[in-house]
Structure 1
Amino acid sequence: MPLRRYPRQTRQLLAYVLAGGLTAVAHYGVLVALVELAQVDPVPATLAGFVVGAVVSYVLNRWMTFEATRSHAQAGWRFGLIAVGGFGLTWVLMHLFVTRLGLPYLPMQFVTTGFVMVFSFLGHKFFSFADRPG
């Protein structure tokens, strides 16, 4: 069933969920590989995964989700700013959960992903890929 049949907001949400799922696969793949195979601490491992996921997210969300009207130069720095915020939020939450509280890294990454997902969606919708005025 083509997505064009749905209202724009519904299409946008469905596309964001799909892009987010693929972004999460990239992020979690790097995270788990680094922790389980390379014995890297979970906090830096999740930050490495975040960077890989951010690249996947930019490409997919620009193309599928937000139907961007800004150029790559205009949207790119805006996306980067929101990504830096998400990176910082990921670091703070994972450091708190895993390093300070000693909780298991993978369930806490799911919790962290929920917070970062909401932050990122709102930031990208209203800032990174918002329609240009005029």
Structure 2
Amino acid sequence: MHASTGNLSSRSFLRFLLVGGGATLLQYLIMAALMTLFAVSAVRASTIGFLLSAIFNYWANARFTFAAQGGHRRSILRFAVTLCAGLAINALVLYAFKKMGAAVWLAQLIATGVVLVWNYTINAIWTFRKRHSS
């Protein structure tokens, strides 16, 4: 059964995973290039890579995943809010599972899963919500 509510669908979720994987790869490539070619510190290189990959992530999700139409002013702001909330959720889940004694890698995997579900759901129903004309 293929259930779809607005932007929530198995197709958009698969596309979301592909875009996220591409954005992560882009972040790592930028980080590696900055560190290797320009001797940029790991934290600075990762941050630059993250920010540039976030731009790609927004664009690809707007066009490929959710086929957003119209202006970007509202959706870019919502994307940034969702991204920041996801970062906070990641930190909280990681902290909580580490506090319960979980290994760091397991805690991070759980946090990544929670943030993945958060980001997909909020982006589908809020960030890139289809506007209905009356």
The answer, yes or no, to whether TM exceeds 0.5 is: yes
What is the aligned partner in structure 2 of residue 67 from structure 1? 67
Q: 1:19-98 to 2 correspondence within 5 Å? A: 19-26=19-26, 29=28, 48=47, 51=51, 53-98=53-98
Q: Taking structure 1 as reference, are residues 69 and 98 closer, same or farther at Cα in structure 2, changes over 3 Å only?
A: same
Query: TM-score scaled to structure 2, two decimals?
Result: 0.66
**Deviations for 1:17-38, whole angstroms, at most 9, x for unmatched residues?**
21121233346x38x979xxx6
8 Å contact from structure 2 (residues 68, 130) kept in 1: yes
Task: Please say which structure displays the higher CA radius of gyration.
Answer: 2
Superposed CA deviations along residues 7-61 of structure 1, whole A, max 9, x for unmatched, are x93432221121121233346x38x979xxx686xxxxx9x47655533321221
Gaps of 5+ in 1: 1-7, 41-45
Residue type matched to 2:24 in 1?
A: A
Q: Work out whether residues 13 and 120 of structure 2, in 8 Å CA contact, stay in contact via their aligned partners in 1.
A: no
Is the contact between residue 70 and residue 131 of structure 1 (CA under 8 Å) also seen in structure 2? no
The share of aligned pairs that are identical, in percent, is 23
Deviation per CA, 1:69-107: give whole Å up to 9, x if none.
241101111111111210110121233345784733x44
Count of aligned residue pairs for this structure pair: 118
- In 2 relative to 1, CA 94–52 (structure 1 residues): closer, same or farther, beyond 3 Å? farther
Q: What amino acid maps onto 2:60 in structure 1?
A: L
Say which SS state the counterpart of residue 59 (structure 2) adopts: helix
2:78 partner amino acid: R
Q: Is 1:115 matched up with 2:110?
A: no
User: What runs of 5+ residues in structure 2 fail to find an aligned partner?
Assistant: 1-7, 36-40
Change (3 A) 1:85 1:50: farther
